[in-house]
Structure 1
Amino acid sequence: MRVAIFSNMVGASSDVTVQLRKKIDASKKLTFDGLNPEIVISVGGDGTLLSAFHHFNDAIDHIRFVGIHTGHLGFYTDWRDYEVDQLIKSLEMDNRQSVSYPLLKIKIHYADGGSSDQILALNESALKRVSTTMVTDVYIKDVFFEKFRGDGLCISTPTGSTAYNKAVGGAIIDPRLNAMQISEIASINNRVFRTMGSPIIIPPEEWVTLIPDDIYHNILTCDQLLIKDRPIRSISYQISKHRIYFAKYRHSHFWNRVSNSFIGVNKK
């Protein structure tokens, strides 16, 4: 089986990467392949795994991911830095078992010559303004829904619902629900201006389009990617037909991850 390593190469991550490479080279069942892997091992934290996802984005349908976390918190990572031997044994016994999560498809249309981008996101995308109020028309399935005023809007996947979405007051969604969520960031609500004021869950067959009143001065994030200083005419969001796959050797149940990440160990 062909295996690649994607590491942040900081501190313990560098040591783990060296161990992994040596053990893969010594294995009779594994081959190191950084260009055309079947398995990608992310070494670091969730940020490293997000970077690995975007690095191998073009081959997402043919790759499974495994995460080793070397820091304090790893929502997408199942293995610790001291479990390299156990992971190698699991890789050698692999039978292609996997678990998959929904991804967000983002289409960005610019006003500078009609160009556009299409991006996949694992966690979320946010459209924001820094110094002034963002005013944006929100359409759901091409039907006008509201004119939003506030700091911004966050559109997240189910697994991404535990990240920035949670921080701005969004709900946590089980990834077995193939849906996306829109959450408001500091919306303006008074006698003159009104927004829905609560998170909205959108099914996979529908889409959301944002059309900002001011095409300049916006900041758009797609996971760790940042787009600014470009005139954004519109952005459309929908759950993608593509998914991310994780090698399911001992992949933790979603709600166990949520409990461990945000609540900790509860003793009865």
Structure 2
Amino acid sequence: MKFAIVSKGDPQSNEYVQKIRSYLEDFRFRYDEDQPEIVISVGGDGTFLYAFHKYKGRLEHTAFVGVHTGHLGFYADWVPEEIEKLVIAIAKSSFRIVEYPLLDVLVRYNQPAKRDSQYLALNESTVKSVEGTFVIDVEIKGELFERFRGDGLCVSTPSGSTAYNKALGGAIIHPSLEAIQIAEMASINNRVFRTIGSPLILPSHHTCVLKPVTQPDFLVTVDHLSFLEKDVKWIQFRVSEKKIRFARYKPFPFWSRVRASFIGD
């Protein structure tokens, strides 16, 4: 089996990387950064997001494993003290595949000759104005839902519902549900302007389209990546047909992850 390792980059994580690589190569596994069957992330959730985007073109052929070395490792099943157990599990036992939904982001521009931009998010995508109040028409399933005014909007996956979405007051959604969630950032609500004022959860057969009202330039984030999108005609969000595959060698139910990450003992 071919494997690759993505490190947080600090000395401690790099030390664990060398240990994991050495152990797996002793079991005749082959290190291959181009076409790995298993990608091991060593670090925190930020490292895992980097690993996902590095190998997002191989999602059908690659499964991910996380080793948590930071303060919060929501995507990680393993801790450094369990590295030898992890290596033995990879070498000696078959893994169970667990799939999580992803978010498709499509940006279309006013210039017909300019090619659409397409992004894939594991956690979330946010949209904000470059300057001034963010004003945008929100369409759901092809119909106008509201004209939003505020700081911006966050569209998240179920697994990403525990990240920035949660900080915005959004619901935590189990990743077995193929859905996306729209959460507001500091909406303007008064006698003149109104928004729904509540997170919205859309099923996989619904799309959300944002259409500019006052200006066509936006700051768009996709997980840890940021883009300045100019002359935007609309931005579309939907549940992706692609999924991320986790290699599970031991049970770690989603709600146990939530409890361990946010409540603890």
TM-score grouping bracket, smaller chain normalisation? over 0.9
Match status 1:261 vs 2:231: no
Does the 8 Å CA contact 1:12/1:81 hold for their aligned counterparts? no
- 1:107 and 2:99 matched: no
* Whole-Å separation in 2 of the counterparts to 1:72 and 1:225: 21
Unaligned runs of 5+ in 2: none
Q: Which amino acid aligns with 1:147?
A: R
Aligned equivalents of 2:38, 2:45: Cα separation in 1: 17
* Alpha-carbon separation, structure 2, partners of 1:242 and 1:229: 24
> Offset of 1:8 from its aligned partner?
2.0
Contact 2:154-2:185 within 8 A present in 1 as well: yes
Q: Does 1:180 align with 2:171?
A: no
Give the AA of the match of 1:74. Answer: G
Name the CA distance, whole Å, in 2 between partners of 1:6 and 1:259. 26
User: What is the match of residue 89 of structure 1?
Assistant: 88
Could you tell me the TM-score, scaled by structure 2's length?
Answer: 0.96
| SS of equivalent to 1:82 | helix
CA distance in 2, matches of 1:54, 1:180: 19
- What is the Cα deviation at residue 217 of structure 1? 4.2
CA distance in 2 between partners of 1:182 and 1:25 (Å): 44
1:190-205 superposed matches below 5 A? 190-205=190-205
Q: Map 1:1-268; keep pairs closer than 5 Å.
A: 1-28=1-28, 30-112=29-111, 113-129=113-129, 131-228=131-228, 230-265=230-265
Conservation of the 8 A alpha-carbon contact between 2:7 and 2:43:
yes
SS of 1:83's equivalent?
Answer: helix
**1:101-157 alpha-carbon deviations (Å, 9 max, x no partner):** 100011111335432111110000000136421000000111111100000000000
Change (3 A) 1:19 1:128: same
- Is the 1:134–1:150 contact (alpha carbons within 8 Å) kept by the matching residues of 2? yes
Paired residue secondary structure (1:261): helix
- Tell which deviates more after alignment, 16-25 or 108-117: 108-117
Equivalent residues of 1:43, 1:68 under 8 A apart:
yes
More displaced, 125-134 or 33-42?
125-134
Is the CA contact (8 Å cut-off) linking 2:217 and 2:232 kept in structure 1? no
Query: How large is the RMSD of aligned CA atoms in angstroms?
Result: 1.4
SS in 2 for 1:75: coil
| Aligned residue identity for 2:110 | A
Give the letter for the 2:199 counterpart. Answer: P
State the shift of 1:96 in Å.
4.1
Over the matched positions of the two proteins, sequence identity in percent amounts to: 47
Measured at CA, do residues 81 and 214 of structure 1 come closer, stay the same or move farther in structure 2, by a change above 3 Å?
Answer: farther
Q: CA deviation at 1:210?
A: 0.5
- Superposition deviation, residue 229 in structure 1: 5.4
Question: What are the superposed Cα offsets for residues 223-254 of structure 1, whole Å, 9 maximum, x if unpaired?
Answer: 01111153322110110111111111124111
Report the Cα offset of residue 264 of structure 1: 1.3
Mapped to 1, the partners of 2:119 and 2:208 lie a distance apart of 15
1-side partners of 2:37 and 2:73: how far apart? 22
State the alpha-carbon separation in 2 of the partners of residues 226 and 232 from structure 1. Answer: 16
How far apart in 2 are the matches of 1:19 and 1:9?
Answer: 14
Aligned CA distance change for structure 1 residues 260 and 96 (closer, same or farther; 3 Å): closer
* 2:17 aligned counterpart, secondary structure: helix
Contact 2:7 2:47 in 1 (8 A): yes
